[in-house]
Structure 1
Amino acid sequence: MTGPLRPAFHEGQVLAAADLSATVEYARGLAVRHARHLHEWGIAEGLGLVAEPRTDPLTDARHAEVRVEPGIAVDGTGREVVVTEPVVLRESDFEEVNGADRPTDEPYPVFLTATDRKPGGTPGPVSCAGGATGTRVEESYQILFGRLGDERLVEEQRPPAVGAPPAAPPARWLVLLGYVRWTDGHFGGVETEARGVGVRFTGVRADTVAARSGSLTLRTGPVVREGEPALVLSGGDQPGLVFGLYRGGGTVAPLMTVAANGNLTVEGSFSGRMPAGSTLVTSGTATDGMLLPLPAGVTPEQVADGRVVVHVRLTPRTPPTATDSTLVSTVEAAVDDERRVRCRTRLYDPLAVPASVVERPGAVDFLVLATVAATNGGA
């Protein structure tokens, strides 16, 4: 198989239609190979399904008019599909495909696919064979309704071979626009995901992403919105990595910062899996009957199955006494398997009349250490 053929011309050459077409096809081939292999296919801009409330004039029933917003998609063959104007979906087209189905709450998929047609016609599957006088081909589109479950066909599609030229006519490639609900003979609403399959957007295939300004920002939407997360990688005089949320002015309020020297600064609490050989600590004061807390990041399940070993140290507290002659002794200061404190103190005043011994609940200062033993490999 030969590689791409680039047209070459010389002075005095008589250019035939095939020569001019080859020039166009060479440029088209470059474009589709770029889109096919350097990008992930999907919706690039717009093409959302929008539902507008309507009322049936005959029954006064509420329903929805659904339209496809203008936008651009790139399919898996590398072809760009452009919708320049809003398109209202026709209920008659839906009924032609799914009208025999029983009533259901399940949403139906809506697809976009590329097609060629003669200029001046209506969007739809038209033969591109054309007459001998045709000098233009409109790269158009078709909107299709699928049956329940047809959304799985999207991921089953396979791209053309590496050197394959643009398909003529274009091969049918389904781009999922979303889903519509159907109730009582009308559209009832729209969805972007159903049965675990959602709308797919374009992406980039790259092992390296380089920023010319010295700062690279990743965010979850095309527009900066206050409260949305962002990840900023900076170089230059203050290199570092910042994760945070956008402020009203468009700057990022840091929640986590990694400095160039490796120092990590976290604004909130830090929790996660305890590495082998680590120790977490918590302390405080507890009274008789209280459950001792575990250090932050340690769960009762980790203690129960032996992944974490808990060590407890108790120091009895001396309670206040009514007289200076009262003697205080600790009868019990322990913790059971449920980490429940058992603390009793005994008070005796030998100068009191009559002399008596009193026992009452006590208090302790506690220190709880949770440790993960290192394995033989130190991991």
Structure 2
Amino acid sequence: MTGPLRPAFHEGQVLAAADLTATVEYARGLAARHARHLHEWGVAEGLGLVTEPRTDPLTNTRHLEVAVAPGIAVDGTGREVVVPESVVLRESDFEEVNGADQPTDEPYPVFLTAADRKPGGPPGPVPCAGGATGTRVEESYQILFGRLGDERLAEEQRPPAIGAPPADPPGRWLVLLGYVRWTDGHFSGVETRARGVGVRFTGVRADTVAARSDSLTLRTGTAAQEGRPALVLSGGDQPSLVFGLYRGGGTIAPLMTVAANGNLTVEGGFSGRMPTGSTLVASGTATDGTLLPLPPGITPDQVADGRVVVHVRLTPRTPPPPTDSTLVSTVEAAVDGERRVRCRTRLYDPLAVPAAVVERPGAVDFLVLVTVAPTNGGG
């Protein structure tokens, strides 16, 4: 197979129809290869299934009118499919394909495919020569109903050869637009996903994405919406990587930030699977009866089922004596199986009248070490 042929012209050349057609086909092939190999095929804009409530004039039952919104898709051959205005789906077309099915709650797939048609009227002057043929082709579309399970056909399609032009009829590429539900002879609902197959949207194939404004933002919608997540990679004087949620004004509230020096700042708790030998620490001061905390990211369930081992070290705190002659000693400094502190302090003043021994709740400095228990495999 030869490579793409680019038309070339010279002075005095007589241009045949094939020469002009080759000019158009070269541009179409260039655009198709770009779309096919630098992008992922699917819905590019619009084309959602939208509904309007209706009433059957014969039975007075409520149902839905389903329409395909205007939009653009790019199929797997690199061909652009444009739906310039809203298209109402005809129930008769659905019945022609699926009318013999038994009643079911399962949704049926709706597809879009490219189609070439003759324009409705002549685009320009009619040539004087007889037998003239049309000089324009309308790159149109066709909306098809599929049978249950036909959504797999869209998933199983394979792209054409590397240098192939965009597909022309009779070649056909199916773009899934969504699903419709059918009840008592009318549409009753729409879905975007069924039986594990959802609407596919266009994407980009790239190993490098470069931002010209020194800031690159990834978000889950075409517009910034309050409460939706975003990931921002910033350069400049203070490079950082920020994950957060959009505020109402379009700014981002950081939830996790990685600074240029590697410092990690997390607004919430930190949890996850730790490798064997990892150690987490919690420390502080506790009084008698206090339940010692676990390090952030460690849960009581992990302790209960033996995934982690807890080590506790207590250092009694000696309170200041009420008098110079008072003797202070720690009677008890321990922690029970629930990590509750037991600490008692004894005070005795031999010069007091009458002399007496007094016990009071005490305080300790604690250190809680949590280590990951080894697995049966030893690692």
SS at match of 1:24: helix
Q: 1:328-347: per-residue Cα shift (whole Å, max 9, x none)?
A: 998876555x5354849699
Could you tell me whether the CA contact under 8 Å between 1:116 and 1:170 is conserved in 2? no
Match of 2:191 in 1: 191
Matched, 1:233 2:233: yes
3-state SS of paired residue (1:19): helix
Helix, strand or coil: the match of 2:233?
strand
Structure 2 contact 43–72 (Cα < 8 Å) conserved: yes
The offset of 1:183, in angstroms, is 1.1
Residues 263-284 of structure 1: CA deviation (Å, up to 9, x unaligned): 2222333333335443232556
- Within 5 Å, which residues of 2 pair with 1:107-186? 107-120=107-120, 133-169=133-169, 171-186=171-186
Identify the residue that residue 127 of structure 1 maps to in structure 2. none
Contact between 2:287 and 2:343, CA under 8 Å: does it hold in 1? Answer: no
* Identical-pair percentage: 83
Q: CA deviation at 1:151?
A: 1.2
1:247 Cα deviation after fit: 2.5
CA distance in 1, matches of 2:309, 2:255: 32
| Larger mean Cα displacement after TM superposition, 4-13 or 79-88 | 4-13
Query: Could you list the per-position Cα deviations for residues 137-181 of structure 1 after superposition, in whole angstroms to 9, with x for gaps in the alignment?
Result: 111111111111111222100000101123332521111101111
Distance in 2 between the 1:210 and 1:318 partners? 62
Task: State the SS of the aligned residue for 2:312.
Answer: strand
Residues 86-110 of structure 1 deviation map (CA, whole Å, 9 limit, x = unaligned): 0000111111111122211111111
Alpha-carbon deviation of 1:203?
Answer: 0.4
Contact 1:274 1:297 (C-alpha < 8 Å) held by counterparts: no
The alpha carbon displacement at 1:259 in A equals 2.1
1:79 is displaced (CA, Å) by: 0.4
Change (3 A) 1:311 1:13: same
Query: What whole-Å deviation, never above 9, does each CA across 1:307-340 have from its counterpart, x for those lacking one?
Result: 5321023467899xxxxxx99998876555x535
Task: Report if the CA contact (8 A) 1:328-1:345 is conserved.
Answer: no
Normalization by structure 2: what TM-score?
A: 0.82
Counterpart in the other structure of 1:128: none
Shift of 1:373: 7.6
Q: Which string of whole-angstrom CA distances, capped at 9 and with x for unpartnered residues, describes residues 197-219 of structure 1?
A: 11111000001111112221111
Would the alpha carbon gap of residues 56 and 360 (structure 1) be closer, same or farther in structure 2, given more than 3 Å must change? farther
Query: Which residue number in structure 2 is paired with residue 11 of structure 1?
Result: 11
Measured at CA, do residues 165 and 348 of structure 1 come closer, stay the same or move farther in structure 2, by a change above 3 Å?
closer
Distance in 1, Cα, partners of 2:287 & 2:157: 64
CA apart distance, 1:114: 0.7
- 2:271 is paired with a residue whose SS is coil
1:10-159, aligned counterparts within 5 Å? 10-120=10-120, 133-159=133-159
Amino acid at match of 1:339: E
Distance in 1, Cα, partners of 2:347 & 2:265: 53
Quickly say closer, same or farther: Cα 1:265–1:296, change in 2 above 3 A: closer
Q: Which amino acid aligns with 1:204?
A: V
User: Would the aligned equivalents of 1:49 and 1:177 in 2 still touch at CA under 8 Å?
Assistant: yes
Find the aligned partners of 1:36 and 1:246 in 2 and give their Cα distance. 33
Partner of 1:339: 338
Query: CA shift at 1:24, angstroms?
Result: 0.7
Instruction: Say whether residues 1:209 and 2:204 are aligned partners.
Output: no
Conserved 8 A contact 1:330-1:346: yes
> Hey, what's the Cα distance between the residues in 2 that align with 1:40 and 1:272?
33
Matched letter for residue 62 of structure 2: R
Structure 2 counterpart SS, 1:59: coil
Paired with 1:96 and 1:374, the residues of 2 have a C-alpha distance of 64
Do the aligned residues in 1 keep the contact of 2:317 with 2:365 (CA within 8 Å)?
yes
Give the C-alpha shift of residue 249 in structure 1: 2.5
CA contact (8 A) 2:280 2:295 kept: no
- Whether 2:262 is the aligned partner of 1:262: answer yes
Residue 283 of structure 1 contacts residue 368 of structure 1 at CA under 8 Å; is this kept in 2?
A: no
* 2:32–2:79 CA contact under 8 A, matched in 1: yes
RMSD across aligned positions (CA): 3.7
**Deviation at 1:48?**
0.5
Partner SS state of residue 216, structure 2: strand
Question: Given the superposition, is the C-alpha separation of residues 260 and 333 from structure 1 closer, same or farther in structure 2, using an over 3 Å criterion?
Answer: closer
How far apart are the structure 2 equivalents of 1:329 and 1:260?
Answer: 51
Contact 1:3/1:163, CA 8 A, preserved across alignment = yes
Which residue pairs with 2:281 in the alignment? 280
**1:233-253 superposed Cα distances (whole Å, 9 cap, x missing partner):** 222233222222222322223
Cα deviation, residue 358, structure 1: 12
Which amino acid counterpart does residue 273 of structure 1 have in structure 2? R
Residue 365 of structure 1 deviates from its aligned partner by 6.4
| Rounded Cα–Cα distance in structure 1 between residues aligned with 2:367 and 2:308 | 16
Relative to the length of structure 1, the TM-score reads 0.82
- The total of aligned residue pairs comes to 365
Farther-moved stretch of structure 1 (245-254 vs 67-76): 245-254
Amino acid at match of 2:5: L
* One-letter code aligned to 2:227: G
